[in-house]
Amino acid sequence: MTTTRTRPNIVGGLGGFLWLIVILVPVYYVVVTSLRSQAGFFDGNPLAPPANPTLDNYKLVLDNDFASYFANSVVVTLATVVVTVAVSLMAAYVVVRRTDRAAAITYKLFLLGLAIPLQAVIIPIYYMITRLRLYDTLLALILPSIAFAIPLTVVILANFLRDVPKELFDAMRVDGAGDWRTLWSLVLPVTKPAVVTVAIYDGLTVWNGFLFPLILTQSPEQRVLPLALWSFQGQFTVNIPAVLAAVVLSTVPVLVLYVLGRRHLASGMTAGFGK
């Protein structure tokens, strides 16, 4: 028994170690370089720790409207997640608790929605957003982001809600609770773990999203973080330490969230496909 366990551990351990290096080298390089001065960047060994670590790059990034890009990202992410989770929870309640055809078709529609690639429909979305006079606004990012987050959110919440015993809903009805009270005092509390999971997943997707901001916004006033990283690259050109400092700064809030809600995140990543 013990002998059968040893060998895969060596093979796996080696693979795991290799992967660790592959992951850590770029991360280490980014952090170390972001602490270098311009001169230190051109002279020293790129993988050695900086001789004179400095926070100047971070200061430069913060002085270049980083806070405003950050705020835009927070607004877009929060608005998208709150609306998505609210409307998806309502829809999940309907598709799970109703047994008629309308509910079944609704669910099928969302399943189909999982397969729509965002890249392929970006041109009609651009068309609609310009016609609605929403081009270069944060709302232009929020509306389609909600639409594309809904299918997976509904499917995950519905899968979770299906396991809730029917008796709980019956008890609510006996108490005379209407649909909205049932949603608020039964559906929301019992699906809370799934809601947290899916909210983190949706939030991460929107926070890191690049295509919608690239196509649907233009001015620095409406710029969100991933796009800001890209434009810093053009703005700072050879000042790579500053660009990498921006990369670090844009990742910090996500890292904090990750450490706080890691278990939720890991299960949420696969929840939609775990069958």
Partner 1 sequence: MSTVSERRGPTLLMAVPALVFFTVFALAPLAGVAVLSLMRWDGLGTPSWAGLANWPEVLGDPVTHEAIWLSVKVMILSWVVQTPFALLLGLLTARRGRYREVLGVLYFLPLLLSSAAIAIAFKALLDPNFGMSQALHIAALSQDWLGNPDLVLFVVVFVIAWQFIPFHTLLYQAGARQIPAVLYEAAAIDGAGPLRQFFSITLPQLRYTIITSSTLMLVGSLTYFDIVFVLTGGGPGNATRLLPLDMYLTGFSNNDMGRASTIAVLLVVVGVALSLGLSRLARFDRGSQQEGMG
Which residues between 110 and 129 bind partner 1 (CB under 8 A)? 110, 113, 115-128
239 is an interface residue for partner 1 by CB under 8 A: no
Q: Record the tokens describing residue 259, joined without a space.
A: 């450490």
Amino acid identity at 249:
L
13 is an interface residue for partner 1 by CB under 8 A: yes
- Taking CB under 8 A as the binding criterion, the range among 49-57, 63-71, 188-196, 221-229 that sits at the site for partner 1 is 221-229
10 Å Cβ neighbour count for 226?
18
203 is an interface residue for partner 1 by CB under 8 A: no
Binds partner 1 by CB under 8 A, chosen from 8, 165, 176, 189: 8
12 is an interface residue for partner 1 by CB under 8 A: yes
What part of residues 165-194 is at the interface with partner 1 (CB under 8 A)?
A: 166, 170, 173, 179, 182-183
- Taking CB under 8 A as the binding criterion, the range among 38-46, 52-60, 61-69, 191-199 that sits at the site for partner 1 is 38-46
Give CA–CA dist 90/85, Å, rounded: 9
- Taking CB under 8 A as the binding criterion, the range among 49-57, 60-68, 105-113, 188-196 that sits at the site for partner 1 is 105-113
Nearest residue to 183 (alpha-carbon basis) of 88, 57, 72? 88
229 is an interface residue for partner 1 by CB under 8 A: yes
27 is an interface residue for partner 1 by CB under 8 A: yes
Cα→Cα distances 202→68, 108, 146, 185, 251, Å? 22, 21, 9, 24, 16
Find the shortest distance in angstroms from Cβ 95 to partner 1.
Answer: 7
217 is an interface residue for partner 1 by CB under 8 A: no
200 is an interface residue for partner 1 by CB under 8 A: no
Find the shortest distance in angstroms from Cβ 187 to partner 1.
Answer: 9
Give CA–CA dist 267/255, Å, rounded: 17
Q: Record the tokens describing residue 118, joined without a space.
A: 């965002």
159 is an interface residue for partner 1 by CB under 8 A: no
Find the shortest distance in angstroms from Cβ 12 to partner 1.
Answer: 4
Helix, strand, coil shares of the chain, percent, nearest 5, are 80, 0, 20
By beta-carbon proximity to partner 1, the closer residue of 60 and 230 is 230
10 Å Cβ neighbour count for 96?
21
Question: Which distant-in-sequence residues (6+ apart) come within 8 Å of 242 by Cβ?
Answer: 34, 57, 60, 61, 232, 236
82 is an interface residue for partner 1 by CB under 8 A: no
95 is an interface residue for partner 1 by CB under 8 A: yes
Find the shortest distance in angstroms from Cβ 108 to partner 1.
Answer: 12
Give CA–CA dist 184/93, Å, rounded: 11
Cα→Cα distances 71→25, 59, 74, 215, Å? 30, 17, 5, 20
